[in-house]
Amino acid sequence: MIKRKYWLSVSIFLVALFFSLLTLRVSAADTFATAESLTLNKISEGTLYTEDYVSYYKFVTSDSDSYYKIELRNTEATENIALSLYSDNDLTTEVYSLSAGKSSVGESSRKLEPNHTYYILVKSQYSSIWLATGKYKLSVSEIKDDVADNFDKSKLIPLNKKVAYNLETEDDVDFFKFKTTTNDSFYKVEISNSGATDGIGIFLYSENDSTTGITDFIVPVAKSNSTVLKLKPNKTYYIAVKRSSSYYKPTGIYKIKIKEIKDDASDTFKKSKTLLFNKKNSFKINTDGDIDYFKFKPSKTGYYNITLANGCNDSINATIFNEDDITQNIGSISTIDGTKKTSKFKFKANHTYYISVQKSYSFRTVEGAYSLTLKSIK
């Protein structure tokens, strides 16, 4: 009989111990000096024993670059309760505060300093009326940041490879950098909003300075968006991915890719590509907005045919210039997609002429192949 009572007592004790471990119970102190330690990523229970009772807690952040989500659950308190976070054991160092109404939850996520002790006070939200007593639950959860939120620690993105990252909180900002090659190239910045909860914004900078913005755009939920720009060779550029305005509160996964698109012909007179006579010279409108510049020098004075064959997806136009000056055009050739057109021009011997090829209409999106053929007329 004694053995039976003994084993019954042991069983009751083990069951009680099991349930007590499900929720970590912390008996909070009532001053900064005696603040009770919270364990990260675990729920703690507390009690406001009297209407003017204040519970003091502390926790130490890890050495990681992390956000910390603080959650206050008003499980059984009789009125609204409030929480204040302090960066030191001093009431003048408040970082922020939040509240939780009856049977509700208050929470906030912030980036906090690594390896630092923070303090929390929990008390009745109001000081004279609707004073609260009763139980609550409190937790501090670490959310590690996968990408730094400042220019100095920007993450290097490899070119021509799509990589997934995460906005850990609605205030998270991810900073990236990439270096252009030595080529004369366009660069396509593409973002896929594959898993974020709201629209995200992309901001491109020419330096590690927010005043050097080049362009920005928004990517809606479950959509992709991109921009293509001619960027300087062998230079580092920066990208910030974040909420585009206060109306958006995105968290979740997105994918980013920086694609190099080599330009087969320069977009300036100065670096014009030389065209060969009596041969089809093939090129591409590499991306919408691309302009290709060429030059040629006839060996004799006379008439020449210039043929523009259009393999693009829309109309393109070739303009002939007497000098490397856009005001000195002497004619043009226009073709719709899938056609070619030949026009006759008179040129002087040993004089350098120029040709530019671009889309015919600014409001159209044009890409694709084309060719230019120059032949003398005998």
pLDDT, tens digit, for every residue of 96-113? 999 999 999 999 999 999
Which of 144, 161, 181 corresponds to the end of one domain?
144
165-192 as b/e: b if 16+ CB within 10 A: bbbbbbbbbbbbbbebeeebbbbebbbb
Are both 91 and 190 inside the same structural domain? no
Q: Specify the pLDDT at position 30.
A: 63
Confidence grade of residue 28 (pLDDT, cut at 50, 70, 90): low
What is the longest distance spanned by two Cα atoms in the chain? 125
What's the whole-number average pLDDT of the chain? Answer: 92
Which of 144, 171, 201 corresponds to the end of one domain?
144
d(CA 70, CA 47): 17
Which of 144, 177, 204 corresponds to the end of one domain?
144
Q: What range does the domain containing 300 cover?
A: 273-376
Q: Would residue 3 count as lying in a domain?
A: no
Q: Specify the pLDDT at position 29.
A: 57
Residues 6+ apart with CB under 8 A from 334: 315, 316, 317, 318, 341, 360
Count how many domains the chain has: 3
Q: Would residue 175 count as lying in a domain?
A: yes
d(CA 23, CA 290): 63
Are both 255 and 332 inside the same structural domain? no
- Sheet containing strand 155-156, edge to edge, reads 155-156, 174-179, 236-242, 200-205, 213-219
Per residue in 240-273, pLDDT (tens digit) is: 999 988 889 999 999 999 999 999 999 999 999 9
Q: Specify the pLDDT at position 225.
A: 97
Q: Specify the pLDDT at position 129.
A: 85
d(CA 177, CA 23): 44
Q: Which stretch of 8-22, 232-246, 314-328, 362-376 has the lowest confidence by average pLDDT?
A: 8-22
Per residue in 133-142, pLDDT (tens digit) is: 999 999 999 9
Mean pLDDT of 17-37: 61
Q: Would residue 53 count as lying in a domain?
A: yes
Are both 135 and 180 inside the same structural domain? no
Are both 35 and 140 inside the same structural domain? yes
Tell me if 114 sits within 8 A of 14, measured CB to CB: no
Domain harbouring 237, CATH code: 2.60.120.380
Its pTM stands at: 0.81
Q: Would residue 5 count as lying in a domain?
A: no
Are both 192 and 157 inside the same structural domain? yes
Mean pLDDT of 25-35: 69
Taken in order 167, 168, 173, 178, is the CA torsion positive or negative?
negative
Residue 122 tokens, joined: 């929990």
Are both 258 and 291 inside the same structural domain? no
Q: Specify the pLDDT at position 233.
A: 97
Per residue in 158-216, pLDDT (tens digit) is: 999 999 999 999 999 999 999 999 999 999 999 999 999 999 999 999 999 999 999 99
Residue 2: CB atoms within 10 Å? 6
d(CA 227, CA 288): 10
d(CA 183, CA 173): 30
Confidence grade of residue 15 (pLDDT, cut at 50, 70, 90): very low
Does residue 21 register a pLDDT over 60?
Answer: no
Are both 40 and 88 inside the same structural domain? yes
Confidence grade of residue 26 (pLDDT, cut at 50, 70, 90): very low
